[in-house]
Chains A and B, each alone.
Chain A
Amino acid sequence: MQAPVHHITGLTSIIRERLLPISGTVLARVQQKVSPVDVVAETKWAREHLMLDVAQILGISPNMADRLIKCKVGDRLPENAEIAVGRGIFPRHVRTTREGRVVAVGGGQVLMEVGESKVDLRAGIPGTVIEVIPDRGVVIQTAGSLVQGVWGNGRINSGLLVNLAEKPDGVLTAGRLDVSLRGSIILAGIVKDAETLQTAAELPARGLILSSIPPSLIPKAREMRYPIIATEGFGSLPMNSAAYKLLSTNAKREVTVNAEIYDRYTGAKPEVIIPLPTSSEPPAPREVETFAPGLQVRMRRPPAMGMIGSILSIKPGLTTLPSGLRAPAAEVKLENDETVIAPLANLEVVG
């Protein structure tokens, strides 16, 4: 049976697409070396629209209003610009109420996009641009360690990794966050209160790597402007040993936290990237494996949720689980030497 792969790997090739949400201008070129903060593409995005119903304002038919409208699609107009003048001795003037660009004219109406803002797309990871996707963005390649998580708050940033988690199930409290951590990516275990997230924002920290987050803190975490990633999920789950070992041994290195929102359909996952110098290009990680003895796996559901183990054997046919359900299963030896039977549907290969 095919197995999904959860990447926790010490050295691999990492290739990531960085795309604008709408079309724009790509600034980077192929083979360009980029740092995480470099802007690789930019665009302008108007979040609001303004409809001026000239016909209604002047009290005339749409056809007549169309003849009186002075602006055309593409015109950039300042606030208070005149777009139509009525007829008569005391004609009424129709003016823009905000600065913007005309996007549609017709039916006696003018539609403008207003509140335009610039969108900068940053590289996010250090590496080399290996492909330019016209009008949308770039593909960047780097080499280094990769630790994927399961939840992210949608932010991205880079900084020096500082380890505040003495053990995989350590709890980070606000009292442990001081000014020396300003600009750092903090490796923490579990956060249990909003105050800790807020204190990290006030430092400001550049990122928080958690093992798990209580569901009640999700709205607060989404408000934070720095990236927050959870490697295991929700509640009070300790960090899996593979991720903890890899991250804690890379303290004081420059890391990137891309707390991308998990999308099961595109495969986007929140992740921590630790760029490493290499003399040759390491192999890219496999996306799919086939369950087999010897493979390292992570338990996605109880028993031993979050623990790492290795497959001892694949059970033939269907196995009756302690729950009473029958499913394809494997015998897994956990890192604490305990052996459990787990359904294959609850396992993912680590690699």
Chain B
Amino acid sequence: MPSSLITGNSLLAIDVGAANTRAVLFDVIEGEYRFVASGAAPSTAEAPFKDVAEGARNAIANLANILGRTLLDDARGPIMPGQPDGSGVDALVVTVSAGPAVKTVVVGLLKDVSLDSAYRLTESTYSRILDTIGLHDQRKPDQLIDNLLRTRPDLVVIAGGTDGGASRSIQKLLEPIGLASFLMPDEKRPTVLFAGNEKMEEEVRSLLGSLAASLHFSPNIRPSLDTEDTDPAERELARMFINIRKRQMKGVELLDIWSGGHILPTAYAAGRMVRFLSKVYGSQKGILSVDLGVSATVIAAGFKNKSTLKVYPQFGLGENLAGLLQYTTLEDILRWSPFDIPASVLLDYLHQKSLYPSAIAATKEDFALSQAVARQALHLATQFAQRDFPKNIASIKPTLAPLFEPILAGGGALSDASRPGQSLLLLLDSLQPVGVTTVILDQNNLLSLLGSAASQNNILPVQVLESGAFLSLGTVVSPVISTNYGRPILRAKLTYENGTEARVDLKFGSLETLPLPSGEAGKLTIQCLHGADVGFGPGKGGTIPVSGGALGVVFDGRGRPLDLPSDPVRRRELIKKWNWTLGGG
């Protein structure tokens, strides 16, 4: 028996989100780890509660009610370790995404080199980049100081200089940061991460050591001009994020104590799982995870030798919604709506919803608006993230999404949808996957919790993943082709395990499905017409094994990139039809 099973059997994982806090129990059932149950309660980071531990206690209490098991002691702390009477748990881990985006200033030397790397690094956590400072900056030092004093960043991320390379230029950039920190009250000083020339550690320490709230170092993210390695710095940044949250939010410190230090930013924990999955299960294709949440949209992609983690608070579906229009237009959001909704109604919605991030859509119209916004937010986040995917990854066309297998999707907007078809269509619209891929819904939002649990118990995530705790939505076949609406583009034959067959003729612009229930497998023979490409090459077909899911095998013949009709009446009719095809109603 592995040592981790001897030291702890049950594991309680707590996720503190912007809207909800969840408590999830994993335990050993018949010799293997399983997801047992989940309890939720509204998060309590905001006033009047202002203590995230309260929401955690409420979520644990709800979980205890569901299980009929005692998990909290008289002082409402978790009972640890598990007791012979069945009360308590053996271990506890925490993930946190609640709270405002961390105000960050990014500093680097050259715009296309270290500054870009520092920017990419900063996007791996819940940050709002207020300013970038580089050698190209035309502002005088006093202007930089004034700007820093005005924006009051929580975090400064500094990169620059190849190892043993430039030092004088970096010193010059550090001076305004040091002076601005010196002029700030102690409690307002930023936390600083230096991820540049490793030879400069002593100089940086002497320049900023006494002026920053805390000063952290990580290996150089740009050790040479053509090498970028942000992984160790991402790890350090994750730790720093938790420390910043401890300063900002009551209760995080207590959760840290409960978990014995096993507390991570939610996005980082999800990224860790994707990295792990891409190493264990990775094929030529990448693995994609998307999380469409209230605090941020998180994109984590794992490829053979490289993973990418992108956290976009600006595309979160909560307090930042009013700012979404800095990146898109009302018309571009409304194109996803099956109803005729005036732009002014959407504008009001974005502002009103940002006041009440935890509110949910109760009416059909509100739901249509929330889904349209979610589609556009995820679409934008994917487009942004794709810019930083590694080069030379498997794809059908470089301008389209790379080939992924599988796509994992979670977050409130997806997991709350009442029908799997609604979630799948949202994903197909916004991600626009190509080729053949399996789409899996993380309906219990477990991925980040498993990533966090991996630090306590490395067997648990593997066994839970393989236990069916995730819902397979189905296998999606998305040919790449652009042609006339209604023209046949693909023929497919699905051969079931019992030998029966089902066939589909896919026309351009339509969605089709063939049933293949979860847990069943089949063989799919694809014949591509008129140059359509599903990954075998233009016009080429083949036979592949496929696994079942809630929607079976789904054929998305709408073309890539998805080009919605400009005529609004026709577009809305089509959207309703597509919804209907996938059982989304």
Q: Could you tell me which A residues sit within 8 Å of B by CB distance?
A: 1-2, 4-5, 22-23, 47-51, 53, 103-104, 107, 111, 113, 150-151, 214-216, 218, 233-235, 262-268, 287-288, 300-303, 305, 320-327, 341-343, 345-346
Contact of B145 among A49, A322, A343 (CB under 8 A): A49
**Residues in B neighbouring A262, C-beta threshold 8 A:** 355
Contact B140 A51 (CB under 8 A): yes
Q: Does B209 belong to the interface (CB within 8 Å)?
A: no
Contact B142 A264 (CB under 8 A): no
Q: Can you list the 8 inter-chain pairs with the closest CB atoms, starting with the nearest?
A: A267-B47, A235-B348, A324-B418, A287-B48, A323-B367, A234-B351, A51-B142, A264-B46
* Additional pairs, 9, CB under 8 Å, beyond known A104-B183, A323-B360: A111-B179, A215-B322, A301-B356, A301-B361, A321-B363, A323-B363, A325-B417, A343-B362, A346-B359
**Residues in A neighbouring B248, C-beta threshold 8 A:** 265
Contact B142 A49 (CB under 8 A): yes
Q: How far is the CB of B363 from chain A (nearest CB, A)?
A: 5
Q: Does B141 belong to the interface (CB within 8 Å)?
A: yes
Which residue in chain A gives the minimum CB-CB distance to B249?
A265
**Residues in A neighbouring B345, C-beta threshold 8 A:** 235
| Given A150-B355, A267-B50, A325-B360, A320:B348 Cβ within 8 A | no
Q: How far is the CB of B266 from chain A (nearest CB, A)?
A: 18
| Subset of 9 A-B contacts with CB under 8 Å | A1-B41, A1-B42, A49-B183, A51-B142, A218-B351, A267-B47, A325-B367, A326-B418, A345-B42
**Residues in B neighbouring A216, C-beta threshold 8 A:** 347
Which residue in chain B gives the minimum CB-CB distance to A51?
B142
Contact A50 B367 (CB under 8 A): no
Bitwise, B163-189 to A at CB < 8 A (1) or not (0) is 000000000000100010011010000
Contact A266 B362 (CB under 8 A): no
**Residues in A neighbouring B418, C-beta threshold 8 A:** 320, 323-326
**Residues in A neighbouring B363, C-beta threshold 8 A:** 302-303, 321-323
Contact B360 A327 (CB under 8 A): yes
| Given A4-B48, A111-B145, A265-B45, A323:B362 Cβ within 8 A | yes
Q: How far is the CB of A57 from chain B (nearest CB, A)?
A: 13
Q: Does B498 belong to the interface (CB within 8 Å)?
A: no
**Residues in A neighbouring B350, C-beta threshold 8 A:** 215
Give the CA-CA distance A263 to B358 in the complex, in Å.
Answer: 15
Q: Does B388 belong to the interface (CB within 8 Å)?
A: no
Contact B352 A233 (CB under 8 A): yes
Contact of B347 among A2, A215, A268, A321 (CB under 8 A): A215
Contact B351 A104 (CB under 8 A): no
Give the CA-CA distance A267 to B345 in the complex, in Å.
Answer: 28
Contact A301 B141 (CB under 8 A): no
Contact A301 B362 (CB under 8 A): yes
Give the CA-CA distance A216 to B419 in the complex, in Å.
Answer: 36
Give the CA-CA distance A335 to B361 in the complex, in Å.
Answer: 22
Contact B366 A301 (CB under 8 A): yes
Contact of A23 among B185, B351, B355, B366 (CB under 8 A): B185
Give the CA-CA distance A264 to B422 in the complex, in Å.
Answer: 31
Q: How far is the CB of A236 from chain B (nearest CB, A)?
A: 8
Which residue in chain B gives the minimum CB-CB distance to A344?
B42
Contact B362 A302 (CB under 8 A): yes
**Residues in A neighbouring B361, C-beta threshold 8 A:** 301, 321, 323, 325
**Residues in B neighbouring A23, C-beta threshold 8 A:** 185
Give the CA-CA distance A263 to B46 in the complex, in Å.
Answer: 9
Contact A301 B360 (CB under 8 A): yes
Which residue in chain B gives the minimum CB-CB distance to A262?
B355
Give the CA-CA distance A238 to B585 in the complex, in Å.
Answer: 33
Give the CA-CA distance A235 to B319 in the complex, in Å.
Answer: 18
Contact A48 B416 (CB under 8 A): no
Q: Does B73 belong to the interface (CB within 8 Å)?
A: no
Contact of A50 among B41, B142, B358 (CB under 8 A): B142
Contact A264 B47 (CB under 8 A): yes
Contact B319 A104 (CB under 8 A): no
Q: Does B146 belong to the interface (CB within 8 Å)?
A: yes
Q: Does B392 belong to the interface (CB within 8 Å)?
A: no
**Residues in A neighbouring B352, C-beta threshold 8 A:** 233-235, 301, 305
Contact of A302 among B146, B319, B365, B417 (CB under 8 A): B365
**Residues in B neighbouring A302, C-beta threshold 8 A:** 362-363, 365-366
Contact B42 A321 (CB under 8 A): no
**Residues in A neighbouring B348, C-beta threshold 8 A:** 214-215, 233-235
**Residues in B neighbouring A5, C-beta threshold 8 A:** 48
Contact B185 A22 (CB under 8 A): yes
Give the CA-CA distance A104 to B367 in the complex, in Å.
Answer: 57
Which residue in chain A gives the minimum CB-CB distance to B365?
A302
**Residues in B neighbouring A305, C-beta threshold 8 A:** 352
| Given A49-B146, A215-B348, A322-B362, A288:B183 Cβ within 8 A | no
Give the CA-CA distance A150 to B354 in the complex, in Å.
Answer: 11
Contact B362 A265 (CB under 8 A): no
Q: Does B475 belong to the interface (CB within 8 Å)?
A: no
Q: Does B387 belong to the interface (CB within 8 Å)?
A: no
Q: Does B58 belong to the interface (CB within 8 Å)?
A: yes
Q: How far is the CB of A346 from chain B (nearest CB, A)?
A: 5
Give the CA-CA distance A305 to B349 in the complex, in Å.
Answer: 11
Bitwise, B62-74 to A at CB < 8 A (1) or not (0) is 0000000000000
**Residues in A neighbouring B319, C-beta threshold 8 A:** 264
| Given A111-B179, A265-B47, A2:B58 Cβ within 8 A | yes
Contact B49 A288 (CB under 8 A): yes
Which residue in chain B gives the minimum CB-CB distance to A47?
B146
Interface residues of B in 223-260 (CB under 8 A from A): 248-249
Contact of B360 among A111, A214, A287, A343 (CB under 8 A): A343
| Given A325-B361, A325-B416, A346-B362, A233:B48 Cβ within 8 A | no
Which residue in chain B gives the minimum CB-CB distance to A114?
B142
Contact A51 B145 (CB under 8 A): yes
Contact B344 A265 (CB under 8 A): no
Q: Does B364 belong to the interface (CB within 8 Å)?
A: yes
Contact A323 B364 (CB under 8 A): yes
Give the CA-CA distance A235 to B344 in the complex, in Å.
Answer: 8
Q: Does B517 belong to the interface (CB within 8 Å)?
A: no
Give the CA-CA distance A47 to B150 in the complex, in Å.
Answer: 8
Q: How far is the CB of B126 from chain A (nearest CB, A)?
A: 14
Contact of B175 among A107, A233, A327, A345 (CB under 8 A): A107
Which residue in chain B gives the minimum CB-CB distance to A287?
B48
Give the CA-CA distance A343 to B20 in the complex, in Å.
Answer: 14
**Residues in A neighbouring B183, C-beta threshold 8 A:** 49, 103-104, 113
**Residues in A neighbouring B142, C-beta threshold 8 A:** 48-51, 111
Contact B364 A267 (CB under 8 A): no
Q: Which of A111, A268, A341 has the most CB of B within 10 A?
A: A111
**Residues in B neighbouring A150, C-beta threshold 8 A:** 355
Contact B48 A324 (CB under 8 A): no
Q: Does B488 belong to the interface (CB within 8 Å)?
A: no
Contact of B359 among A218, A266, A341, A345 (CB under 8 A): A345
Give the CA-CA distance A268 to B46 in the complex, in Å.
Answer: 11
**Residues in A neighbouring B353, C-beta threshold 8 A:** 301
Q: Does B100 belong to the interface (CB within 8 Å)?
A: yes
Interface residues of B in 390-430 (CB under 8 A from A): 416-419, 422
**Residues in A neighbouring B175, C-beta threshold 8 A:** 107
Q: How far is the CB of B245 from chain A (nearest CB, A)?
A: 12
Contact of A48 among B146, B249, B364 (CB under 8 A): B146
Give the CA-CA distance A22 to B184 in the complex, in Å.
Answer: 10
Contact A346 B356 (CB under 8 A): yes
**Residues in B neighbouring A266, C-beta threshold 8 A:** 47, 50
**Residues in A neighbouring B322, C-beta threshold 8 A:** 215
Give the CA-CA distance A299 to B201 in the complex, in Å.
Answer: 55
Q: How far is the CB of A194 from chain B (nearest CB, A)?
A: 16
Q: Which of A263, A265, A267, A341 has the most CB of B within 10 A?
A: A265
**Residues in A neighbouring B344, C-beta threshold 8 A:** 214, 235
